[in-house]
Structure 1
């Protein structure tokens, strides 16, 4: 009988540890979900998910730096585009002006915000067959572009 009791205690301990681990994981996901659900910009550590968020004036971080790099690449190809943005990760007036020029050129809703529609074009450099030599593929991939 003592062997059964000991075995039951081991199972109870294992079950309890599993439940605590699951509860901790669920709490972590709940906290992460509530923070991610409210935020409009991805943290720099999650730069691979930049395309899932919107960015506008006042935003900052690695994703904004990727946007600036992409806009600099497109800039010379767009009349009135800005191609000499400082890549500082700060979504300031120059970055907003470059986004507006980009959106105007591509016939998008012009709001100065990098959202899903703007990301779709920023992530699509091909204007013909094959890769293009002027496009910053590393910044695009770091942003989560599927290229």
Structure 2
């Protein structure tokens, strides 16, 4: 399954869950979802649209390109800091990567490999912030 197809399925699942909760509340039932309505400070749409690439190669200090931009954008969405989205994996991107890895309970080696990509995708897609 492609990443794009996975994202489409996640969007459909979220929409179906929200529709079910809304219908249940509208009928006077009891909603079992923790957040049937968004928190007032929560945005109605994702903070960051990161669509530089679907490629997820291993990235480390010195890496360059669209995948680095994708990671930088996603890191910005889950951290209280702003990494330059310039496609250069420098010390700022490494520092943000380590901070995210620590927040997510991953090995904090500063390398964006399969485990970090997986967690970063999940946190970004679900608009989870390390500081909320």
Q: TM range, normalised to the smaller chain?
A: 0.5 to 0.7
TM, length-normalised to structure 1: 0.48
Aligned length: 78
Aligned twin of 1:92: 90
Could you tell me how far 1:62 is from its partner in structure 2? 0.6
State the distance in 2 between where 1:126 and 1:65 align: 14
Could you tell me how far 1:125 is from its partner in structure 2? 2.9
Query: Retained in 1: the 8 A contact 2:101–2:116?
Result: yes
Superposition RMSD in Å: 2.5
Could you tell me how far 1:126 is from its partner in structure 2? 7.4
Unmatched runs of 5 consecutive residues or more in structure 1: 1-45, 77-82, 135-147
State the distance in 1 between where 2:65 and 2:113 align: 16
- Give 1 or 2 for the bigger CA radius of gyration: 1
Q: Deviations over 1:102-127 (max 9, x none)?
A: 00111111110000110111111379
Regions of 4+ moved over 3 Å: 131-134
Could you tell me how far 1:63 is from its partner in structure 2? 0.5
Return closer, same or farther for 1:110/1:133 CA change in 2, 3 Å cut-off: closer
State the distance in 1 between where 2:128 and 2:100 align: 20
Higher relative contact order (CA 8 A, sep 6+): 1
Q: Does 1:125 align with 2:131?
A: no
Structure number with the higher helix fraction is: 1
Could you tell me how far 1:47 is from its partner in structure 2? 3.1
Aligned twin of 2:46: none
TM, length-normalised to structure 2: 0.53
Return closer, same or farther for 1:86/1:109 CA change in 2, 3 Å cut-off: same
Q: Which secondary structure does the structure 2 equivalent of 1:47 belong to?
A: coil
Aligned twin of 2:58: 54
Aligned twin of 2:19: none
State the distance in 2 between where 1:133 and 1:102 align: 11
